[in-house]
Amino acid sequence: MELWIPITLAAAFSQNIRSALQKHFSTSLGATGATFLRFAYGFPFAVIYLLVLNGHFEMPLPRFNGEFFTYVFVGGMAQIIATFLLVYLFRFKNFAVGTAYSKTEPIQAAIFGLIFLGEHVSPGGAAAIALGTLGVIAISLARGARSLSQVVNSLIGRTALIGLASGAAFGLSAVCYRGASLSLGGPNFLMQAAYTLVWATFLQTLVMTLWMGWRDRGQLKASLAAWRSAFWVGVSGIVGSACWFTAMTLQNVAYVRMLGQVELIFSFAMSVFFFREKITGIELLGCLLIGGGIVLLLSP
């Protein structure tokens, strides 16, 4: 098994936990505050991870360069925008439609990867991405829409546009992170990913702290006051991010993000086996489509 596969699975599992925690804070802190938690409380753990690799495992630090900074800055800002838009969607009654569109990230990542990194997706990989994306959309629509007319009306509405924008920003950020990591040229994929992660979370924390200090000091104070609970957002978030960054250093972003859709299967498995909740036929179909896409993606 290629190394990027188990790393991506670990990333998806960690993201599942972080998303649940972050959704809770979106109600009490708002979209900006919930977004800030992910980066600010994750940054210290990113630094610790880098120091462990450098000190304990004696991996030398990469050489900083202009290409790296450009990629990591654009990626960091795009991720802030993507996360804000995704959290903002939770305010809408039909947020599931927007969330479905945000999950078009693998398709948009494939496009950005071709434009910025010159990386192509194989025909089989493209079919797998399309199949998995259909599964995610089916699940999201099954959760949010109660009738066909609601689906049709919401497909061209505000939430759909916000979801598409979120997916585009997530796709762009992921491609930029891969570009940043690869631009370092060594010393190894673990250090390249960790170094990129530290710079990304540092820039994100700095920019959001300055913005909130200027525009929304109330949410900044509330975010800092919630440190006991937000601590776990930082832990789960940075574990997931470290895995994502490592996997994207090793493999084409579109493939990594496609395999990452297994997060929804984890979520449903937890609902069925731990909470004894029932899932609908459409949701089951969506899981099967995602599973089929993953099998196709990983087929030799």
Distance CA 141, CA 101 (A): 10
* pLDDT tens for the chain, residues 1 to 300: 699 999 999 998 887 777 766 666 666 677 788 788 888 999 999 999 999 999 999 999 999 999 999 999 999 999 999 988 887 877 765 555 666 677 789 999 999 999 999 999 999 999 999 999 888 877 766 655 555 565 555 556 677 788 889 999 999 999 999 999 999 998 899 999 999 999 999 999 999 999 999 988 888 998 888 888 788 888 888 899 999 999 999 999 999 999 998 887 877 776 677 656 677 788 788 889 999 999 999 986
Q: Which amino acid is at 39?
A: F
Q: Which amino acid is at 25?
A: F
Q: How far is CA 101 from CA 72, 121, 137, 170, 202, in A?
A: 25, 21, 7, 12, 29
End-to-end CA distance of the chain: 11
Q: Which amino acid is at 132?
A: G
